Amino acid sequence: MLRQTDFISGCVFVLLGLFFGLGAIQYRLGTPAHMGAGFLPLALATVLVLLGAAIVAKSLLRQSESIEWGSVLPVAIVVGSVVLFAATLRQAGFAGASFLTVLAASFARPSVGWIQRLVLALFCSVVATIIFIELLGLPIPVWPLFVSG
Amino acid sequence: MDLLNSLTLGFSVAVTWQNLIYCFLGVLMGTMVGVLPGLGPVTTVALLLPITFSLDPTSSLIMLAGIYYGAQYGGSTTAILVNLPGESSSVVTALDGYKLARKGRAGPALATAAIASFIAGTFSTLVVAGFAPMLGAVALKFGAAEYFSLIVFGLIASIILAQGSVLKALAMVVLGLLLGQVGTDVTSGVDRYTFGLSEMADGISFIALSMALFGIADVIINLQDKEQRSAGILENVGSLMPTRKDMRQTAPSIARGTVLGSLLGLLPGGGALLASFAAYTLERKVARKPREFGDGDIRGVAAPEAANNAGAQTSFIPMITLGLPANPVMAMMIGAMMIQGITPGPSVLRNQPDLVWGLIASMWIGNLMLLLLNLPLIRLWVALLKVPYSYMFPAIILFCCIGAYSVHNASFDVIMMAVLALAGFVLVKLKCEPAPLILGFILGPMLEENLRRALLISRGDFTIFLTKPISLVFLLVSLALLATILFPTVMEQRKRAMEV
């Protein structure tokens, strides 16, 4: 049961519906003629809970595919490298953050050599800096703080 | 004559050096990224979206449109040469295209795809030019009630025609609508679901959401696939020219594909995907003998390619005239317009005809550029096909990060993208398609505003949606569509059509 896509997704929708529904009743509901901020969210959340329940009910009647989560490593490395970009952008500058992000992300495929990783990171960093800073003029400092002061 | 005036206006906008260059850059970059194995048009448009932010609205839409059909065409090249369709709409092209390539007829297959796309593009541009003003004029008469029902219809129709479980798709739409509610409510000024974070007051960044779902989550899924994705690349393209027999054989197929694709592109949820499947199915039934479909029949390339390009083009009609996205790419176009400060809908056609007609004219120019560009540059595309995924995906991730950051210059949006990507990954693993969620997300605020206005006019009386005839029709059709779900025969048909 706990490994079935339909059962779990139904549960997820019910929980999300409850989350949005409980949030919605904190806001003013208002009347139909003067809808408050909570009116539509509450209605939609109710529908989501019902749909989730229907999906769960259907999954009890008929087996669905079981979930294949796959390996955790790519998930962690990819999401981690995105967070790394956000975390290092101020300190390392645009070029530095780009370099670090690409380098970190490349580890999601273990079969690549160190030199290739470094070259790839350098290449991406230079190209991205040319496109986004030079050509498109994004207002971000390019160099790390310790260089630009 | 009105049409002629409008087209003249359109070409006067599109044929400026600036816009021609952006159209060209869009087509070129769209093809370059679209050709990379595993990257479909949706991902390509999402990745390249941030590049257009700094342009003026007309140029940015022209460039985005170019990216879209460039990516579409790039996907076909990949399908023919590597049997790795980037997106479901070129799955059908791979069926016969790859077989032809293995028989040493890759060149004629590619050329036929390009010619079919161009012919279809020319015809469907005219369809867009003819239909858009008509539909736009009707849409101007729509009140809030009609609009609300139209949005409901659009959302439901897009689910029925999409792939996968209908109940889950419905739930994804509703979840998208709810995510669209995050942020400050424009009417009451209340912050909804912001957890007290000022960064969330503007709502969830559309770019962060689409990049998370179609960029990052996609990368994760691809990386988890153990098998190396590079199958045999057929480098030897050979002579490009189709034989006379090819041309004679494919002409009717191109015509059929074009008409069918133009029609299906108009439907919400239709667009390129449905068009190419339907065209292939039709072709297998009506084409003259000898039929060698599945075994390298050139008509199996011509018809779907014509259809998916025509469908991609006409799916712009509901977007331009009604502000309704028929597919995720159109949702992104609307997102891009909103970032440019334009509210999509019938008023755009009236107030900014230069923008709309410039876009329409540029579609034809873009298609012409594709035809001239693709065949000579085929060596470049083949070279790009050889880029291993190990080098590609870190660059994709970097592009997504920069894109998410650049909308508001906020690191917060990048973190948000990481969270949404994780959520998107879980949803894909639970077999929930992300496309309906994006449609719901983009339409959420519109749905609320029209519901609110309609009920304000009717003083809280819900029957307003039933007493206005147009609104009633939309709701009845939606109901009928929903009812078909209860009858398994229709669903079986749908499944069979998707499988081919």
ipTM confidence: 0.94
Assess whether A75 and A141 both reside in one domain: yes
pLDDT > 90: what percent of chain B?
20
Q: Which of B297, B271, B265 is nearest to B284 (CA)?
A: B297
- Which one has a higher pLDDT value, B107 or B484? B107
Assess whether A77 and A58 both reside in one domain: no
Asked if B201 has any chain A CB less than 8 Å from its own CB, the reply is no
The domain boundary residue, chosen from A67, A90, A116: A67
Amino acid at B333: M
**d(C-alpha B260, C-alpha B256), whole Å:** 6
Specify the range with the lowest mean pLDDT, choosing from B92-106, B265-279, B289-303, B400-414. B265-279
The stretch B131-151 carries a mean pLDDT of: 86
Judged by CB atoms closer than 8 Å, whether chains meet at A52 and B171 is answered as yes
How close does chain A come to B125, measured CA to CA in Å?
31
Q: Which of B127, B57, B56, B31 is nearest to B363 (CA)?
A: B127
DSSP string, B204-251: S-HHHHHHIIIIIHHHHHHHH--S-------------PPPHHHHHHHH
Asked if B451 has any chain A CB less than 8 Å from its own CB, the reply is yes
The stretch B309-321 carries a mean pLDDT of: 87
Residue B371 has pLDDT above 70, yes or no: yes
Residue B497 has pLDDT above 70, yes or no: no
Residue B490 has pLDDT above 80, yes or no: no
Asked if B416 has any chain A CB less than 8 Å from its own CB, the reply is no
Residue B185 has pLDDT above 90, yes or no: no
The stretch B50-75 carries a mean pLDDT of: 88
Amino acid at B219: V
Interaxial angle between packed helices B328-339 and B435-457, expressed in degrees from 0 to 180 and rounded to the nearest 10: 60
Assess whether A86 and A136 both reside in one domain: yes
For position B176, what pLDDT does the model report?
94
Testing the interface with B: which of A85, A117, A130 to mutate, by most B Cβ within 10 A?
A85
pLDDT-derived band of residue B138, with 50, 70 and 90 as boundaries?
confident
Q: What is the pTM of this model?
A: 0.86
| Residues of chain A contacting residue B224, judged by C-beta atoms under 8 Å apart | 70-71, 74-75
Tokens of A111: 């079969």
| Residues of chain B contacting residue A120, judged by C-beta atoms under 8 Å apart | 391, 394-395
- Choose the closest CB to A75 out of B390, B406, B425: B425
Closest residue of chain B to A75, computed from CA coordinates: B220
Residue B218 has pLDDT above 80, yes or no: yes
Assess whether A77 and A139 both reside in one domain: yes
A146 touches A93 (CB < 8 A) = no
pLDDT-derived band of residue B162, with 50, 70 and 90 as boundaries?
low
Assess whether A45 and A103 both reside in one domain: no
Assess whether A36 and A90 both reside in one domain: no
pLDDT-derived band of residue B278, with 50, 70 and 90 as boundaries?
confident
For position B492, what pLDDT does the model report?
62
- Choose the closest CB to A37 out of B190, B421, B459: B190
Assess whether A54 and A92 both reside in one domain: no
| C-alpha separations of B385 from B5, B79, B237 in Å | 43, 11, 13
Q: How many residues does chain B have?
A: 500
Contacts of B48 (CB under 8 A, 6+ apart): B26, B29, B30, B33, B64, B67
- Choose the closest CB to B192 out of A37, A124, A131: A37
- Which one has a higher pLDDT value, A6 or A136? A6
Assess whether A84 and A106 both reside in one domain: yes
Tokens of B386: 């050889």
Give the DSSP H/E element, type plus range, for residue B183.
Answer: strand B183-184
If one counts every other C-beta atom within 10 angstroms of the C-beta of residue A31, the result is 11
Q: What is the pLDDT of residues B375-428, one digit of tens each?
A: 788 888 888 888 888 888 999 999 999 989 988 888 999 999 999 999 999 999
Judged by CB atoms closer than 8 Å, whether chains meet at A16 and B175 is answered as yes
Assess whether A82 and A63 both reside in one domain: no
Q: What angle do CA B203, B206, B208 make, to 5 degrees?
A: 100
Residue B168 has pLDDT above 60, yes or no: yes
pLDDT > 70: what percent of chain B?
91
**d(C-alpha B393, C-alpha B415), whole Å:** 19
Residue B73 has pLDDT above 90, yes or no: no
| Residues of chain A contacting residue B53, judged by C-beta atoms under 8 Å apart | 136
- Choose the closest CB to B51 out of A23, A121, A136: A136
Asked if B459 has any chain A CB less than 8 Å from its own CB, the reply is yes
The domain boundary residue, chosen from A31, A48, A67: A67
Q: What is the pLDDT of residues A42-72, one digit of tens each?
A: 999 999 999 999 999 988 888 778 888 888 9
Mean pLDDT over the full length of chain B? 84
Q: Is B331 helix (H, G, I), strand (E, B) or coil?
A: helix
Interaxial angle between packed helices B411-429 and B217-224, expressed in degrees from 0 to 180 and rounded to the nearest 10: 50
Assess whether A12 and A61 both reside in one domain: yes
For position A149, what pLDDT does the model report?
58
Residue B158 has pLDDT above 80, yes or no: no
Please state the domain count of chain A.
2
Assess whether A11 and A56 both reside in one domain: yes
Tokens of A45: 């959340």
For position B489, what pLDDT does the model report?
55
Q: Which of B190, B150, B156, B199 is nearest to B454 (CA)?
A: B150
Q: Which of B47, B35, B43 is nearest to B85 (CA)?
A: B35
Residue B344 has pLDDT above 90, yes or no: no
The domain boundary residue, chosen from A29, A51, A67: A67
Expressed as residue numbers, the domain containing A60 is 4-67
Assess whether A76 and A94 both reside in one domain: yes
For position B231, what pLDDT does the model report?
55
For position A21, what pLDDT does the model report?
93
